[in-house]
Amino acid sequence: MTTPSSDRARTSRQAHVTGWGRYAPAQVLTNADLERMVDTSDEWIRSRTGIRERRVAAAHETTASMAAVAGLRAIAVAGLQPDDIDLILLGTLTPDYWMPSTAALVKEAIGNTRAAAMDVMAACSGFVYAYASAHAHIVSGMARHALVIGAETLTRFLDYSDRNTCILFGDGAGAVVLSASDEPGGGLGIELTTEPSGAYMIWLPAGGAKAPPSLDTLARREHFIRMEGRETYRFATRTLATTALTAVERAGLQPSDIDLFIPHQANIRIIEAVAKGLDLPMERMFVNVDRYGNTSAASIPIALAEAVDSGRVKVGDDIVMVAFGAGFTSGAIALRWTADPARGAIADTIAPDVVRIRPPVDWDSAEAIPPALAAVLGGTVVGDETDLDDIVPGDADAGAAAAEGHGPDGRGSDARGTKVHA
């Protein structure tokens, strides 16, 4: 990452949102689909959460691939080239791998050669934490253009026999570009908090150093997200309004001055509680939880991009993004919007298939889609026909064929060479 020395001296340097973009996978999982999987009902889910449907990543899609599409869209909207970005921060709790970082895969996929890239783990607050960090990098002069992404493939970490959790979450990605500017605007007030007394209220028990993966942990279904719903709900309703209020006050504003709140989209009742806590009407809250469910770190950047693209944000508006999540973490950013909302249309020029995440050359994993989900969605992963001997490190042609999604056998398959049959 380069640090322009002339920028260091500037004290009035601001970080403005100059680009925004989102990506939602095409496959929809409805409440009716979930009725076929667990003992639940559309009525229960809608009345308790406000969720009608959520998106599910296809077998060839991952957190990195969705993040790269959203990221390229944000870069295009900002009017930049991928190599103009000198910092990539990616909030996620569902990385492609424990290592390398998903941000590193995204850097390669978008064709960036300059940026420092890392993941930010703050669960559903991950995007807001990443945004705050990028803001600090920019105002301090350490970065000029930062790509901040929230991306999740939660449907691969859910227990589809646990009705308490599997109804809530979905997949997707959103991104913004933050750019240095000497003009007023951008981030005005930021608040981040972490409350570890709630550490085990939402957690994923196994796979880490405390409980390394084993047949035992698999048998006990400890590789899936677990949650104490009521305690989490209590934390969210207690914390979101106060976190937002602190950020608003740091900006020298009152809640009534804020044109639009973009709250974490976990549950419509939680969003209603935030509005009540701030003594504001629901019209000031942006809501899309009905269509995406809870996409964790992706939730706020998807909502922000939708809000801007649907005409809910104008130049000069003050907006607040506020999140909460496992940890318990919470964070809020109050900012003044300065970008022309019409530029959002440029994102449409970036088709999802421009992105290829380079597959590992000598390894392929098991089926991506959980069997219970594949059965309901009508797609069954029937096996991997890639002959791994055909792909060896350093064999550019074979690697490129796999990356093109052709597979070494020349027949149609996804980027990993896995056959997905409808």
* Residues designated catalytic: 124, 264, 294
Q: Is 167 in the site for ligand COA (CB under 6 A)?
A: yes
Binding mask 229-258 for ligand COA (x = CB under 6 A): xx-xx--x----------------------
Number of chain positions touching ligand COA (CB under 6 A): 20
Enumerate residues 6+ apart whose C-beta is below 8 A from 324: 124, 125, 235, 236, 239, 240, 243, 264, 266, 330
Q: Is 295 in the site for ligand COA (CB under 6 A)?
A: no
CB of 411 vs ligand COA, minimal distance in Å? 40
Give the distance from CA 79 to its chain's centroid: 22
**224 cis-preceded (ω within 30 degrees of 0):** no
The C-alpha atoms of residue 285 and residue 296 are separated, in whole angstroms, by 18
Give me the DSSP letters along 120-179.
E--GGGHHHHHHHHHHHHHHTTS-SEEEEEEEEEGGGS--TT-TTTTTTB-EEEEEEEEE
Q: Is 406 in the site for ligand COA (CB under 6 A)?
A: no
The encoded tokens of residue 367 equal: 């089926």
| 211 Rama sector, left if φ>0, alpha if ψ -120 to 50, beta otherwise | beta
**1, 37, 42, 48: which one binds ligand COA (CB under 6 A):** 48
The encoded tokens of residue 332 equal: 């809020």
By CB under 6 A, which span of 162-170, 176-184, 204-212, 247-255 interacts with ligand COA? 162-170
Among positions 309-338, residues that touch ligand COA (CB under 6 A) are 325
CB 156 within 8 A of CB 184: no
CB of 28 vs ligand COA, minimal distance in Å? 18
Q: Is 267 in the site for ligand COA (CB under 6 A)?
A: yes
CB of 47 vs ligand COA, minimal distance in Å? 9
The nearer residue to ligand COA, 167 or 260, going by C-beta atoms, is: 167
Binding mask 180-219 for ligand COA (x = CB under 6 A): ----------------------x-----------------
**76, 115, 124, 158: which one binds ligand COA (CB under 6 A):** 124
By CB under 6 A, which span of 44-52, 98-106, 301-309, 387-395 interacts with ligand COA? 44-52
**Residue 9: enclosing H or E segment and its boundaries?**
none
Enumerate residues 6+ apart whose C-beta is below 8 A from 416: 59, 60, 359, 364, 365, 368, 384, 386, 402
Which whole-number Å values give the CA distances from 337 to 50, 333, 334, 401, in the listed order? 28, 12, 10, 43
Nearest residue to ligand COA, using CB? 229
**163, 291, 343, 406: which one binds ligand COA (CB under 6 A):** 163
CB of 231 vs ligand COA, minimal distance in Å? 8
The nearer residue to ligand COA, 146 or 333, going by C-beta atoms, is: 333
By CB under 6 A, name the binding residues for ligand COA. Answer: 40, 44-45, 48-49, 124, 163-164, 167, 202, 227, 229-230, 232-233, 236, 266-267, 294, 325
